[in-house]
Amino acid sequence: MVQELQLQATDLVAPLFVHDGDAPPEPVASMPRVHRLSLDALVTEARELSRLGIRSLAIFPVMPSRLKDPNGSEALDPDALVLRAVRRLRTEVPSLVLFTDIALDPYTSHGHDGVLDASGTDVDNDATVKILAKMAVLHGKAGVDFVAPSDMMDGRVGAIRGALDDAGLIHTGILAYSAKFASAFYGPFRDAVGSAMAAGTRSLDKRTYQLNPANRREALADALLDEAEGADALMVKPAGPYLDVILSLRSETRLPIAAYQVSGEYAQIHAAAQNGWLDLKATRDESVLAIKRAGADWIFTYFAKDIARDLADGSFPAAHRNP
């Protein structure tokens, strides 16, 4: 009766990885219980998540190395893998809210989120923004509900909003990765999508465009700039190490706030549980409740399916069961 918040399945966004072909689900070694899915398996998984009460998915493509180049050209293919995935889901599980990543790291041979400048050592902000705006229009036309620019280029939200509006996609929302930190917690994700393989290391240095983990005020300033440029929701990533940023941003904006419990957060909980050092379920539940308590409206988490299952059967702590 006095618990201050309740978690619901509709708070959760399930990130899913999709690969081309018809191979069975491929396990991601560094992320227990997470798989790369074929298009058919993706639809099956989406239906199961919907049945469990999850209403939102984030789709990430796993691209073969033969389709990667320095400019991420495959990102602008109208029949790219992620767009085919969106069209299938839009047709076969139409009730779902779909998010897609707007960034070039799955498509570039160097693994960065944008094209490199003439020096070959830094990302060319303005050239990248032009590509991202075109990419967002393709995703909007495919039926995505929210394009989610995760690249951290300056000015990309305004450019994407303008491009979407010019294309008549006035109802396509923008979830801006506004406070995305240059974090050590992204390694397993880079394994999952293959950007670590492209770069030759899972610790690719992205500090010239992602945020310094020491800078909370800079993160808030960037988020408010994205709001002014037309973002419909704001993302803090990673979630757990940056609960203070979520809390501070909650007092600065009326927009929905998303928080991404990233692959490294997920993997470390599993690793500690496998060693018998932590209780998996209790630690999982506490970590997600903390993210919501800090002020997140939407929680992107690889635990989404398991939590939704526990919410449905009442075994999640103080589960809120919808009538």
> Residues near 193 by Cβ (< 8 Å), separated by ≥ 6?
17, 60, 61, 62, 63, 105, 106
Between helix 156-166 and helix 125-142 the angle, nearest 10°, is: 40
292 is catalytic: no
Residue tagged active-site, from 180, 206, 292, 305: 180
Residue tagged active-site, from 68, 237, 292, 305: 237
Q: Strand 35-37 vs strand 26-27: parallel, antiparallel, or unpaired? A: antiparallel
Compute how many other C-beta atoms are within 10 angstroms of the C-beta atom of residue 228: 10
Q: Is 252 exposed, middle or buried (0-12, 13-18, 19+ CB in 10 A)?
A: middle
One-letter amino acid of 209: Y
| Contact present, 143 and 172 (Cβ < 8 Å) | no
Cα torsion at 293, 297, 299, 300 (round to 10°)? -160
Active-site residue list: 180, 237
